[in-house]
Amino acid sequence: MYRSAEVFWHQIFGSIVAFLLVSFLGAPGSAKAQTATDQLSGKLVITGASTLAPLIAEIGKGFESLYTKVRVDVQTGGSSRGIADARQGLADIGMVSRAMKDEEQDLHAFPVARDGVGIILHKDNPVQTLSDEQIIAIYTGKITNWKDVGGKDAAITVVNKAEGRSTLEVFLHYFKLKNTAVKAQVVIGDNEQGVKTVVGNRNAIGYVSIGTAEYDESQGVPIKLLPTGGVNASTETVRNGTFPISRPLHIVTRTPPVGLAKAFIDYAQSKAVHDTIKQQYFVPLAE
């Protein structure tokens, strides 16, 4: 009888403890039992630099896998759009593929990786290298035929970037050119347009993100990167600091980020995305 009473009260006590635990933590699958990774929800709109867009889209996929109720919408349009959309509240986060300017200090900028800008030719173009002076002469219309730089007797098609693109600004800054001095036959927007233009015209010359060009080369796209300043254009030379045209890649917000935007930025700057950054042929900041 005594043993039966002891068992009875033990069972009652156990039931009370279980009830209190469930009440405090929530039943499995309930909102209270969910981890912090399940509690963020909503949509992030991220716009701007086409150089950064493929990387941020891949980081976004990883973020969505952690936070299943979050959607990340990445749109291109150039760094100028990223700046403008962030300022006007049209985007939660802007993408800027260059160093920030003095007049942009009103924004909060967060570097996520590094990249370089490289000159590209069609793979079948016999020209293997161009000096800085030759590139300037080509882009200003002083050299118009490939035979004058060791190539075939064919007119050079100069491909330039559109206004508002950071790749244009970085290119002009390095070669000390004004955009008004450039004599271009083709003006393009994003990096892939630049690559497609060169692929479709064996006599074209352009410049794009090294990360984009290396990735496309790895996929069999018939382009090649030329050295700049005597240094091979590659992710490796960007990583070791020897390539002369490199730039930080930023994401920016209008106000100090909180909530969903802050969680995304923290993730984008973490070591968890270093493999993703390398897979996109960019350089993680810690390296």
pLDDT digits (tens, 9 = 90+) for 99-141: 999 999 999 999 999 999 999 999 999 999 999 999 999 999 9
Q: What pLDDT is recorded for position 140?
A: 98
Q: How confident is the model at residue 287 (pLDDT cuts 50, 70, 90)?
A: low
Domain check: are 125 and 229 in the same one? yes
Q: What pLDDT is recorded for position 12?
A: 44
Query: pLDDT for 2-44, tens place per residue?
Result: 344 444 444 444 444 344 433 433 333 333 333 444 589 999 9
Q: Which domain holds residue 21?
A: 1-34
| Helical H segments across 28-154, by residue range | 53-66, 79-88, 132-139
Domain check: are 110 and 120 in the same one? no
Share of residues in the chain with pLDDT > 90 (%): 83
Q: What pLDDT is recorded for position 195?
A: 96
Query: Residue 170: which region, alpha, beta or left (left: phi > 0; alpha: psi -120 to 50)?
Result: alpha
Average pLDDT, integer, range 42-69: 96
Domain check: are 147 and 125 in the same one? yes
Maximum Cα–Cα distance across the chain:
109
Domain check: are 171 and 218 in the same one? yes
Q: What pLDDT is recorded for position 236?
A: 94
Q: What pLDDT is recorded for position 48?
A: 96
Rg of the chain on CA atoms, in Å: 26
Domain check: are 152 and 224 in the same one? yes
Contact between 262 and 108 (Cβ < 8 Å):
no
Query: pLDDT for 85-106, tens place per residue?
Result: 999 999 999 999 999 999 999 9
* Structural domains in the chain (count): 3
Q: Residue 280: which CATH number?
A: 3.40.190.10
Q: How confident is the model at residue 243 (pLDDT cuts 50, 70, 90)?
A: very high
Domain check: are 124 and 211 in the same one? yes
Q: Is 241 exposed, middle or buried (0-12, 13-18, 19+ CB in 10 A)?
A: exposed
